[in-house]
Structures are given as C-alpha cells and as structure tokens.
Amino acid sequence: MQKLVSFFAVFLFFLATSAHADPMMDDIATLQHAWAKGYYSTPENRQEDYFASLRNQAHQVSEKFPGKAEPLIWEGIITSTLAKYQSIFSAGGTAKDARDLLLEAIRINPDALDGSALTSLGSLYYKVPRFGSFGDYDKAREYLERALKVDPNGIDQNYFYGEFLSIQGDKAGAIAHLKKALAAPPRPGRADADAGRRNEIRQLLDKLSK
C-alpha cells in the first residue's frame, strides 16, 4: 500500500511539473546561456563565427514559435551582438536585421521579457555609428526610457540607460543609473549574464569616477 501511495505521489508530481513546462521558454533559456557564454567567455577571435552560428539557432526558435515576441527578442539580441564583431561592410546590414526583429517584437508585445526589446533597440540606436536610421540619440532615449517604465529596477535597463547618459555627458545621471543597475535583484536562471553585466557596470563606474 505504501509503495502504491509513493507511486501516485511521484506521478502527481510529474503531472504538475509537466503542466508548468514551457518549451518556448526552455529554448529561450538555452539561447540566453549560449549568448552569455559567447559574449563573456569566448575568445574575441572566435566570437563572430560563434554568434553567426547562434543566430541561426535563434532563428530556428523564432520559426518554431511564430507570432511570439520572446524568440524574436533573442534573435534580435544575438543578431545585434553578431554585428559588433563583423566588418564594417557586413555590420550595417546585420544591425538593420536586428532592428527589424526588435521592432516586430515590440509590435507584438513591448512588455515581453521585462521590456528587453525596448532596451536592446534603444542601445542599437546609440551604439551603432550614425548611418541610415542609426546614431539617433532621440530614438535611443525614447526606447530606453520606455524600457525603464516597464522595469524600473532592471539591471540591463539601468545599465544601458546609464551608459547612454554617460555618452550624452550626464555624468551624475549615468552614475545614478549604473549604481541602480548594480543593486538590481538577481534574475532567475541568469546568473552567468548577471555576473558579466555587473563587471561591465563596475568598469564603467570606475571610468566615470576618474
């Protein structure tokens, strides 16, 4: 009898965990960890090939879950990261692809993943050199401030806005947001990305303090 009860307990636990399983978010988590590994741990001379391959993987996830903002966000983030490591002849087109993916994600659900599409798009507009529609600080501010409204205490939202303010010459504002980013609560399942981001935050704070 005791064995039967134990069996049903395990069976019910399996049903409960299966009911809460989310295949899309499992795939997103895989992309998130792969991005953190590529961005923070992969040698620079291998990063372009790494992110080119990861971009293909992210696109497959987007195709697997059509009409969902979350896969498009991560395909956009990975695509924009790839642009960082490409030559000037390729990076512009890749950055535009990233922009279009993020705009589509925002059209579907601007609040998805705590406004990550807004944050990433804002960073594109100030990080990519001025050509075409990029290098637009007004658009960068608009998207970054919208992201902060979605998640005022987020590590990425405050980091990128702080970095943007530092470029704009607002040292006090930049430091305030960077300190807020450093104090942001840990993101579940994102310890690798959080550790890397906090190192970036400390480096920028040290630079602004000199």
Structure tokens of 18?
């299966």
Q: What are phi and psi of 104, to 5 degrees?
A: -65, -40
Distance CA 134, CA 17 (A): 45
Least confident of 16-25, 41-50, 56-65, 98-107: 16-25
Distance CA 191, CA 195 (A): 6
* Radius of gyration, alpha carbons of the chain: 19
Distance CA 44, CA 149 (A): 34
Residue-wise pLDDT for 137-170, tens only, equals 999 999 999 999 999 999 999 999 999 999 999 9
Residue-wise pLDDT for 166-205, tens only, equals 999 999 999 999 999 999 999 999 999 999 999 999 999 9
Q: What are phi and psi of 110, to 5 degrees?
A: -65, -20
pTM, to two decimals: 0.88
Q: CA 85: distance to chain centroid?
A: 17
pLDDT score recorded for residue 128 = 85
126 with 137: CB under 8 angstroms? yes
Instruction: Give domain 26-150's CATH architecture.
Output: Alpha Horseshoe (1.25)
Domain locations in the chain? 26-150
Residue-wise pLDDT for 27-61, tens only, equals 999 999 999 999 999 999 999 999 999 999 999 99
Decide if pLDDT at 24 tops 90: yes
Confidence of residue 130 (pLDDT cuts 50, 70, 90): low
Decide if pLDDT at 107 tops 60: yes
Q: Measured over all CA atoms, what is the biggest interatomic distance in the chain, rounded to whole angstroms?
A: 73
161 CB-contact burial (10 Å; exposed 0-12 / middle 13-18 / buried 19+): buried
Distance CA 18, CA 13 (A): 8
